[in-house]
Amino acid sequence: MQRYFISPDQVNDERILITGDDVHHIKNVMRSRPGDQLVCCDGQGRDYLAEIEELTPAAIRCRVIQISPSKGEPKTQVTIAQSLPKGDKLEWILQKGTEIGAVRFLPFTSERTVVKIDSRKTDKKHERWERIVKEAAEQSHRGIIPEVARPVSWKELLEEIKSAKTAWIAYEKGGQPLAKSLAEAASEEILLIIGPEGGFTETEVAEAEAAGAVPVTLGMRILRTETASLAALSCILFQRNDLGGETE
């Protein structure tokens, strides 16, 4: 069943008023009619099974049939701090990372980051990133829309590390095995830091360690930056029983 995110203030007296871009999608793409059902999620962990009552050019009014907790949210809250990659790789990471279960994305620039975003284009880029994440969250039945932060500098990322409960920096030249780090970490909030195509410098790794990050290794094979973030995220959530790792 089609799923749409709404804000809690769009729910009133067992009625939901859908506005914005979703109106076009429901009316013209899905060709929905009164009596059709859909699911609305308030972004705070509640799903509303609703029936369309009225369609207007600017809004769609629905009647709430049932309210239930969202089931698509992992207990482990992983933020992917991703050095800006070339091309459209970040968009791929945002989409697939949302599907897998990341709760936040923090793009950053480091010494070997090739991509430089023109400050005049930052707003447009950020809007696109947020749209990609929203659509991926709807498709994958998430209970929230993951946050996409605006790109930060390396120094700003170091401050994020200092305030993080658990921070890991993926380092191709060695580190603690990811499985060991997972076994030792009690926190359900993890900051996962992934470098650019050229990797981190030794100085950056040392600075990250000084700020509180633990270098981790993802194995003997060298992974592309877009592979590393998604592979590590999958391993973390699987180990924490948030991705099909449940046992009887």
Its pTM surpasses 0.75: yes
Distance in angstroms (rounded) separating the CA atoms of residues 42 and 47: 7
pLDDT for residue 1: 84
pLDDT for residue 13: 86
Give the phi and the psi of residue 230 in degrees, each rounded to 5.
Answer: -75, -35
pLDDT digits (tens, 9 = 90+) for 212-235: 999 999 988 889 999 999 999 999
Return the percentage of the chain with pLDDT > 90, whole number: 79
Indicate the pLDDT class of residue 246, thresholds 50, 70 and 90: low
Question: What homologous superfamily does CATH list for 3-69?
Answer: Hypothetical PUA domain-like; domain 1 (2.40.240.20)
What angle do the packed helices 154-163 and 202-211 form, to 10 degrees?
A: 30
Domain boundaries, the chain: 3-69, 77-239
Contacts of 64 (CB under 8 A, 6+ apart): 11, 14, 15, 16, 48, 49, 50
Position 109, amino acid: T
Chain mean position to CA 11: 25
Position 88, amino acid: D
**Which of 205, 187, 214 lies closest to 78, judged by CA?**
187
pLDDT digits (tens, 9 = 90+) for 120-145: 788 899 999 999 999 999 999 999 99
pLDDT for residue 127: 94
Indicate the pLDDT class of residue 245, thresholds 50, 70 and 90: low
Report the CATH architecture of 77-239.
3-Layer(aba) Sandwich (3.40)
- The answer to whether residue 119 scores a pLDDT higher than 80 is no
- The answer to whether residue 248 scores a pLDDT higher than 60 is no
**Which of 70, 79, 208, 218 lies closest to 144, judged by CA?**
70
Position 114, amino acid: V
